[in-house]
Structure 1
Amino acid sequence: MVFERDRVTALTAPARGLGVQEGMRRGGVQLLAPEAHLHERDTLREDTTLQQAALALLQYTPQVTLAAEACILLEVGASLRLFGGIRALCRKIRVTIARLGLSAILSCAVTATGAWLLARYGYVRTLGPTSLQRRLDRLPVVLLSAARPHLEWLHGLGCRQLGQVRRLPRAGLQRRCGKDLLLMLDRAYGAAPEVHDWIVAPPSFQARVELPDRIEQTDVLAAYAQGLLAQLAGWLAARQLAIKKLRLWLEHERGRQAVPPTELQVALSVPAWQEDHLHTLVKEKLARSLLPAPAIALGLAADELESRQAASEMLFPEPGGSAEDHQRLLELLVARLGADKVQQAAPRADHRPEIANRWCSVMQSAASLPAPLGSDPARLPPRPLWLLQEPLPLRVQQHKPFYRSALEFTSPPERIEAGWWEGRPLTRDYFTARDAGHAYYWIFRQWRGGEWSDEEPQWFLHGLFG
């Protein structure tokens, strides 16, 4: 139960079953339910939670505002087609609210005040003005905040529903109750315009959540991180940004046994803004991390951001997924295995095979990679798929290189001369060779002192064909 000024303001169904009611004092509650958990109302924390929920809901519409009595209003008329209709949109909003650790009563109507009244009454969804008027007429007058100071007078007239109040003479109702009551009724029924102060996303994002206990299970921490990521997704949508790197930190014990926070960096090869994808990466990152102590708080910040590029849909989608799907797969592998375990080829402008390519992380941007050789690959002789890390010396028998058996040449020589600009000149003749078992190899003859030197050339095995 929640108390405000020593009186009950909120309670659960089991507490109500024991006889506890709203407005009851603390002493009476302790007599009826001595084992109940009692909490003091924290209005500052409630306001902060509403602001966080409103920020997360910005991913569905840019027009979000806070209303009285813990209500959030969303103008979703322009978002229905994008999210597949009102039913699908409501389902998505419910999921987002649940990820924040909250519960909500959703209602929708053609007017904001009407939706606010229907939500306070219960889950009601109406999409037309006629059905809205019919439903509003049956609502109790007590839901109308402007009518509460005059409830006794209205009940004395037999007006207990909004429809009955609307049938009263407007002039007399205005003299008795003021303009606010009529204005609220007109806004609810769509007879008067509504003006809202839409919330604006802050220029930077940083969120933090206090954990209910000392937690060291990474899957539980990932569940709390999802609430932060929901806020991040709303902020990114409102600012039309995509994230390139996010920072997650876990706060540990304070005081004499203080442990410094644990920071985790999640880098993306391609900027993203999808909440589910970001949560998958964070979950994998947490699963691979060793915590020095249980966490008592969790924080999230957006470090590197870029402008969001609008997705271009194709008339006939390519099989196997889009380029964005491939990038998400690579980012998932990096989060699960580590950036040093998922690598990409980085060709270099050099004819020496052992230098012509190096391996680097897939997280390295294409702009930082060296330029490849400008020759046409179709005009080059065949290259083996498997290149040895170090060339393997071969012995010579009867003037032929030998590897398991005598090797027969199946291609003309390919001359490679390079390294002279580094002071290490290199002269090689590459051949494709075949052994007695019809396995193909890539071998070369290296001239130590040049082709016209008196020294005998040496043979090496450099690669294997499939």
Structure 2
Amino acid sequence: MLWAAWLPPPDARPRPWPQAITHWALGFTPRVTCQGDAVLMEVHSSLRLFGGWPALRARVEVQGRELGLAPPAWAPQALAALALARAGLPGAPDLPPDVLDPLPLTVLDAAVPHAALLAQTGCHTLGDLRRRPRGAVARRFGAALLEGLDQAYGLRPSVHAWVTVPERFEARLELPWRVEQAEALGEGARRLLLPLQGWLTARQAGVRACRLRWLHDGLRPRDAGPGGELVWRTATPTRDIDHLQRLLAEHLAHVTLQAPVGELVLDALEVQPLQPQATDWWADAATTQAEGLMPVLERLSARLGPQRVLRPVPCEDHRPEVMVRWCPATEAAVAPSAGHPRRPLPAVGPQPGFLRSPPLRLVVRRHRPHYHGELQLLAGPQRIEGGWWDGAAAQPGANPIPAARDYWVAHSPRAGLLWVFCTRPVAQQQEPAWYLHGHFA
């Protein structure tokens, strides 16, 4: 077994303790427990996942410093790690039991109530207590003292109440100083994103929407209000806190604080199941580049606005102008259905390289369409009838022209090959209307 133990920060500066720390520790192992004012985690089963104890220790210490924590103490037993943490010693995975002998009795919870009386008998350290006759110690101080001592030395197993993962994530952080610039809130928000990452890892989930709320200082102006909030979203579920922090920084660049901020609150609004990506030795460079495209689009959308970064979405529709719709790049990649039963689209004839939006109505003379001269119909007709399920004008990007059309490939003396269609007349006495819809390259 291998245990790591943390104590509260020695200084008085506010820290996210202890619930946020337990959420963060859940990102390394599901076995996290609280012992008094300390947080402990058992990581023996997670060593292979993180590449061994040196790699895991380096990662834990780097992220712990961001949370304002001192390096943890490591030991093969939980109470031994806690005793080393209280003594300010780093420990190691393969510590011999006698390392605990020089430690004072106050590092063991079971010995704290009896420390003064034991000191009068000349017993000041755990080693002194081990050398006392066990029967006499049990009669005078109770069996709980020997039980705690044996658990610390690994002679008896210990039972722990593991931290359960809550259904909803919310973390608070009181800032060590008052912040007046919105961009500076990102550093404090990262101390809340680290626990969020651990919470998401424990739930095997990713987040699509987060909300950061800030509370103004008590000496704020009357018109400033209690605080403000910011919601930012991602196109796909993620638990990459670096990407979430970069997106948050882009949004905070457009925020102006009305008063100094003293406290931050982070909560997850939309959480979805997320399967971790397996490492594939056969993944090519194109796949890796495609996986990194969405974070770039999300950052551009946060910087320029969602309506300025669009992507095409194919749709099941017979009308050429609504076969592809443009939506914000950060929205979920779900192609909207046309509303009719799914069936393969009919085979079509020649398609032009350029479409006119909207189609241009042509002049008709003697029942013949004209565009820079009289048009000569070469191929057709190809009938397309669509939009009857919801009306042509109800579709985004569609035009109010009736959806029953006969398409032709036509030739103009001056414009070359064209893609034109004629509409079905509503009344028998009316002539069909002709439109120019596309140009062949």
Paired AA for residue 270 in structure 2:
E
CA contact (8 A) 2:362 2:370 kept: no
- Matching residue within 224, 240, 258 for 1:274: 240
Deviation (angstroms), 1:454: 11
Which residue in the other structure is 1:7 paired with?
none
1:323-362 alignment to 2 at 5 Å? 325-362=292-329
- Matching residue within 172, 179, 184 for 2:136: 172
Cα deviations across residues 432-458 of structure 1 (Å, max 9, x unaligned)? 99999xxxx8732344788x9998996
Report how many residues are paired: 407
Which residue in the other structure is 1:30 paired with?
none
Cα deviations across residues 281-304 of structure 1 (Å, max 9, x unaligned)? 222222243444443332222222
1:215-364 alignment to 2 at 5 Å? 215-252=179-216, 256-259=222-225, 261-309=227-275, 311-314=277-280, 316-321=282-287, 325-364=292-331
Which residue in the other structure is 1:430 paired with?
409
Query: RMSD in angstroms over aligned alpha carbons?
Result: 4.2
Deviation (angstroms), 1:415: 3.5
Deviation (angstroms), 1:356: 2.7
The 1:375–1:211 alpha-carbon spacing in structure 2 relative to 1, beyond 3 Å, is same
Percentage identity across paired residues of the two chains: 34
Q: Return 5+ residue gaps in structure 2 as ranges.
A: 1-8, 392-400
CA contact (8 A) 1:392 1:462 kept: no
The 1:381–1:98 alpha-carbon spacing in structure 2 relative to 1, beyond 3 Å, is farther
CA contact (8 A) 1:442 1:461 kept: no
Which residue in the other structure is 1:199 paired with?
163
SS of 2:200's equivalent?
A: helix
Distance in 2, matches of 1:420 and 1:52, equals 53
Distance in 1, matches of 2:294 and 2:132, equals 64
Cα deviations across residues 365-403 of structure 1 (Å, max 9, x unaligned)? 4556125985479x655645654434468999xx99669
TM-score normalized by the length of structure 2: 0.75
Q: Return 5+ residue gaps in structure 1 as ranges.
A: 1-9, 13-40
Distance in 2, matches of 1:195 and 1:313, equals 36
CA contact (8 A) 1:246 1:267 kept: yes
TM-score normalized by the length of structure 1: 0.71
Which residue in the other structure is 2:397 paired with?
none
The answer to whether structure 1 residue 59 and structure 2 residue 23 are counterparts is no
Distance in 2, matches of 1:463 and 1:363, equals 32
Which residue in the other structure is 2:418 paired with?
443
**Greater relative contact order, per chain length (Cα 8 Å cut-off, separation 6+):** 2
Distance in 1, matches of 2:102 and 2:75, equals 15
The answer to whether structure 1 residue 183 and structure 2 residue 147 are counterparts is yes
Cα deviations across residues 416-446 of structure 1 (Å, max 9, x unaligned)? 544695672444323699999xxxx873234
Paired AA for residue 84 in structure 1:
G
Cα deviations across residues 136-159 of structure 1 (Å, max 9, x unaligned)? 2343455345163245335x4xx6
The 1:301–1:141 alpha-carbon spacing in structure 2 relative to 1, beyond 3 Å, is closer
Which residue in the other structure is 1:28 paired with?
none
Distance in 2, matches of 1:333 and 1:188, equals 54
